[in-house]
Amino acid sequence: MDERPVDAGALIHELEGHLLIEATRGEGRAEAGRFTRQFGWLTDSQRAEVEERFAEEYVSLARLSWRRTVQRGAELRGEYEEAYRVLRRRLVAGWVFGMVCLTAVAVLAVSCV
C-alpha cells in the first residue's frame, strides 16, 4: 500500500469533480430526451444515436464553459490583486508621509521651545 499521506482537500475536490460531471451527464441525457421527443419520425436506434451525441455535446459545452469561468476567475484575481497592491502602496506611502509630517511638527515644536 502507498505510504504517502492522503490529502483530504485534493480528494474532496476530485470527488466533487466526478459528481459534477455525472450530474452534467444526467442533465445532458435528460435534455437529449426532451430534444428528440419533437422528432416523432426517428426510429429507436436513430433516437438513441441523436440522444447520445446530444448528451456528449452538452457535456463538452459545459466543460468549455467551466474552463472559461476558471480562466476569467484567474484574470479577475490578477486584476484584484494588482488593485490591492496599488492601494497598499498608497496606504503605506500616506502613512510614511503622515509620520514624516508628525516628526517635522514635533521637531519644530521642540526647537521653538
pLDDT 10s digits, 50-90:
999 999 999 999 999 999 999 999 999 999 999 999 999 99
Residue 47, Cα to own-chain centre: how many angstroms? Answer: 36
The grid coordinates of residue 24 equal 452534467
Please report, as a single letter, which amino acid is at residue 1.
Answer: M
Cut 0.75: pTM above it: no
Q: Quickly tell me which residue has 505510504 as its cell.
A: 3
Work out whether the CA dihedral 58, 62, 67, 71 comes out positive or negative. positive
Residue 92 to residue 88: CA distance in whole angstroms: 6
